């Protein structure tokens, strides 16, 4: 038997603590040390110290506090060593004092640290792609390599993006703070946008062929849950609901051979009922607050689809009504397009096509593949095959996703009268 065997339970404990608490410890260390890099280094040092000391001294009664304290000591040590020639002792003293403050350890202060971390990573003064990278790195704890793989980009490019974001936080003095009530709506929007960006990257890029990519949709849902837990705002609930309701259809969106299946052709028995039930409950909570916004309304639309037994049995009038509400707060041609598709289901393809063509005529969506695909689909249903073919080809020229490409090619063959 290997001599290290008696330590195995403790190593498992440390791994479990890392899983459950490393992000909390990091969030608190950033507050105490005032610096992301120093805090990350301190976090690693703290876990290294735990690996050395816990097997000998036993697991401390409050592992998280132990880790924060160990990390802070290591960081102050490192700062002192680095600043031998400078008078930087006051940095250490400030941190010394901070850790003795009992308020530091109360649950609320520590939970606030996690919110501080989220809001700082999603600060609108950072570039949107930097917000995403930093959030995945610091809040979700993904490695730079994992994020780079998920976004199909070279790791050094992504590392550089994170370095720049951290220097901006330092140089522009982006504070480590939960926004005040007046700032909250706009700042929360930024956080929700980041989470939804992560989700969509995972959701729309899932080709089934690429198994090495980190599950970004799952990561976004975890983030959404964390946000609802820390800050139960209606729109945070709405976004979590929206993600769960989309995610519930994952198994039905692709055939076993990786072919895209549209909503009306999906096998609804494959939809994840537990996710639908949770999503529907969250939508209800969000809507009943009376303070909901675009995510909650989109989630409400997704819930109508999720609860309908078939495409034909969907309450399309209700869907159109919700799109009308959505358009009042957010005038976006993509939402107009989605509404047009719902109108086509309610009033027939000709009514929908008239709206789609009006949007395209304005030029707003002339390079948006789904606008051409929608026009093609409606022409097809009306039997206008030549126009359908031309529009499918236009959509095909604009798409970059392999499953979409194959789907459109199949449709083109169909409307051309060729055997599929």
For another protein, the closer CB: 175 or 232: 175
Which residue in the block uniquely carries the two structure tokens 């080809």?
393
Under the criterion CB under 8 A, does residue 328 sit at the interface with another protein? Answer: no
Q: What distance separates the 2 farthest-apart alpha carbons in the chain?
A: 82
Nearest CA among 246, 230, 161, 253 for reference residue 196: 246
Angle at 113 between CA 111 and CA 119, to 5 degrees: 110
Looking at the chain, the number of H-run helices and the number of E-run strands are 20, 0
C-alpha 189 chain-centroid distance: 13
Under the criterion CB under 8 A, does residue 265 sit at the interface with another protein? Answer: no
Residues 6+ away with beta carbon under 8 Å from 201 = 150, 151, 216
Under the criterion CB under 8 A, does residue 171 sit at the interface with another protein? Answer: yes
Under the criterion CB under 8 A, does residue 121 sit at the interface with another protein? Answer: no
Q: Out of 128, 156, 258, 383, which residue is the one contacting another protein (CB under 8 A)?
A: 128
Distance in Å, CB of 117 to another protein, minimum: 15
**What is the sign, positive or negative, of the torsion defined by CA atoms of 260, 261, 263, 268?**
negative
Distance in Å, CB of 99 to another protein, minimum: 23
What three-state secondary structure class fits 290?
A: coil
For another protein, the closer CB: 114 or 123: 123
Distance in Å, CB of 297 to another protein, minimum: 19
Interface of this chain with another protein, residues 131 to 170, rule: CB under 8 A: 164, 167-168
Under the criterion CB under 8 A, does residue 358 sit at the interface with another protein? Answer: no
Under the criterion CB under 8 A, does residue 173 sit at the interface with another protein? Answer: yes
Q: Out of 26, 39, 67, 126, which residue is the one contacting another protein (CB under 8 A)?
A: 126
Torsion of CA 351, 367, 326, 230, to 10 degrees: 150
For another protein, the closer CB: 35 or 45: 35
Distance in Å, CB of 173 to another protein, minimum: 5
Rg (CA), the chain: 26
Under the criterion CB under 8 A, does residue 94 sit at the interface with another protein? Answer: no
For another protein, the closer CB: 177 or 285: 177
Distance in Å, CB of 124 to another protein, minimum: 4
Distance CA 198, CA 220 (A): 6
For another protein, the closer CB: 147 or 174: 174
Distance CA 254, CA 260 (A): 5
Under the criterion CB under 8 A, does residue 125 sit at the interface with another protein? Answer: yes
Under the criterion CB under 8 A, does residue 100 sit at the interface with another protein? Answer: no
Q: Out of 34, 60, 124, 321, which residue is the one contacting another protein (CB under 8 A)?
A: 124
Q: Out of 76, 79, 117, 130, which residue is the one contacting another protein (CB under 8 A)?
A: 130
Percentages of the chain per state (helix, strand, coil), in multiples of 5? 75, 0, 25
The interface mask with another protein, positions 184-223, x = CB under 8 A, is: --x-------------------------------------
Answer whether 109's CB lies under 8 Å from 101's CB: no
Distance CA 169, CA 418 (A): 58
Beta strands in 59-103 (DSSP E): none
Give the residues lining the site for another protein (CB under 8 A): 123-128, 130, 164, 167-168, 171-175, 177, 179, 182-183, 186
């Amino acid at each position: 038997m290997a001599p290290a065997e008696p330590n195995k339970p403790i190593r498992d404990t440390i791994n479990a603590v890392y899983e459950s608490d490393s992000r909390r410890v990091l969030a608190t260390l950033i507050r105490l040390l005032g610096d992301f890099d120093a805090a990350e280094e301190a976090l690693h040092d703290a876990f290294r110290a735990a690996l050395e000391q816990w097997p000998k001294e036993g697991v401390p009664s409050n592992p998280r506090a132990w880790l924060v304290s160990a990390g802070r000591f290591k960081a102050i040590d490192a700062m002192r060593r680095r600043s031998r020639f400078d008078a930087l002792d006051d940095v250490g003293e400030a941190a010394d004092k901070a850790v003795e403050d009992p308020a530091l350890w109360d649950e609320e202060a520590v939970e606030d640290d996690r919110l501080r971390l989220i809001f700082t990573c999603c600060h609108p003064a950072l570039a949107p792609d930097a917000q995403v990278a930093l959030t995945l790195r610091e809040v979700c704890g993904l490695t730079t390599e994992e994020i780079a793989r998920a976004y199909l980009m070279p790791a050094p490019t992504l590392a550089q993006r994170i370095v720049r974001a951290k220097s901006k936080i330092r140089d522009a003095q982006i504070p480590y703070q939960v926004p005040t009530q007046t700032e909250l709506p706009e700042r929360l929007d930024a956080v929700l946008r980041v989470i939804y960006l992560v989700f969509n990257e995972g959701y729309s890029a899932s080709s089934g062929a690429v198994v090495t990519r980190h599950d970004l949709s799952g990561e976004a849902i975890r983030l959404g849950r964390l946000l609802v837990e820390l800050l139960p705002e209606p729109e945070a609930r709405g976004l979590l609901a929206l993600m769960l309701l989309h995610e519930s259809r994952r198994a039905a969106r692709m055939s076993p051979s990786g072919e895209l299946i549209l909503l009306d052709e999906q096998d609804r028995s494959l939809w994840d009922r537990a996710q639908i039930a949770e999503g529907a409950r969250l939508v209800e909570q969000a809507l009943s607050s009376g303070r909901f916004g675009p995510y909650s309304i989109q989630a409400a639309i997704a819930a109508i689809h999720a609860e309908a037994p078939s495409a034909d049995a969907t309450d399309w009038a209700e869907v159109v009504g919700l799109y009308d509400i959505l358009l009042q707060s957010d005038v976006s041609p993509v939402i107009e397009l989605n509404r047009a598709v719902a109108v086509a289901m309610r009033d027939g393809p000709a009514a929908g096509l008239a709206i789609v063509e009006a949007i395209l005529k304005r030029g707003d969506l002339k390079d948006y593949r789904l606008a051409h695909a929608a026009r093609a689909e409606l022409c097809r249903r009306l039997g206008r095959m030549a126009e359908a073919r031309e529009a499918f080809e236009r959509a095909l020229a604009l798409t970059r996703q392999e499953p979409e490409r194959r789907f459109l090619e199949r449709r083109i063959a169909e409307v051309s009268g060729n055997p599929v």
